């Protein structure tokens, strides 16, 4: 069965510090997708990134970067120069996809990030 582990339940950093949120996953499939979502205090869930299992290139989007390593089954998320607006709960998720279009998505329990001014 697929599983997503976010071992850090809560992290506090001072503004402008860099922070890395860890995500480790388990799956038996060779084809899968990984995601990160942000849930700010207002409660909505915001899609941040999708990565498929065949693409191990790291990605950078502004202050956000993602490190996907199949060898360690990890998909870590780094925020550079954190800001108060980054305070949120961040979820990592795994979706298995097969030729039939089956899509079962499993979320981690989330990491609550608090950025202190």
Where does this chain bind another protein (CB under 8 A)? 33, 35, 37, 43-47, 49-50, 52, 91, 93, 95, 97, 101-110
Beta bridge partners, 33, equal 52, 95
Lookup: tokens for 108: 């981690």
Complex with another protein: residue 14 or 58, whichever CB lies closer: 58
> Minimum Å distance from CB 110 to another protein?
5
**Strand, coil or helix: what is 72?**
helix
> Minimum Å distance from CB 22 to another protein?
15
Complex with another protein: residue 3 or 70, whichever CB lies closer: 3
Complex with another protein: residue 11 or 49, whichever CB lies closer: 49
CA distance 70 to 89: 24
Compute CA 13 distance to the chain's CA centroid, rounded to the nearest angstrom: 18
> Minimum Å distance from CB 93 to another protein?
8
> Minimum Å distance from CB 95 to another protein?
7
What b/e string do you get for 86-108 counting C-beta neighbours within 10 Å, with b at 16 or more?
bbbbbbbbbbbbeeeeeeeebeb
Complex with another protein: residue 60 or 81, whichever CB lies closer: 60
């Amino acid at each position: 069965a697929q599983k997503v582990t976010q071992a850090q339940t809560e992290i506090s950093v001072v503004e402008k510090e860099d922070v890395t949120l860890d995500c480790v996953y388990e799956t038996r499939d060779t084809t899968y997708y990984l995601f990160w979502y942000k849930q700010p205090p207002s409660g909505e869930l915001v899609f941040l990134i999708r990565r498929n299992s065949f693409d191990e290139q790291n990605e950078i989007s502004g202050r956000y970067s993602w490190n996907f390593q199949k060898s360690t089954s990890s998909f870590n998320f780094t925020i550079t120069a954190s800001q108060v607006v980054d305070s949120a709960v961040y979820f990592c998720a795994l979706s298995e996809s097969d030729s039939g279009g089956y899509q079962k998505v499993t979320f981690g329990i989330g990491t609550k990030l608090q950025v202190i001014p």
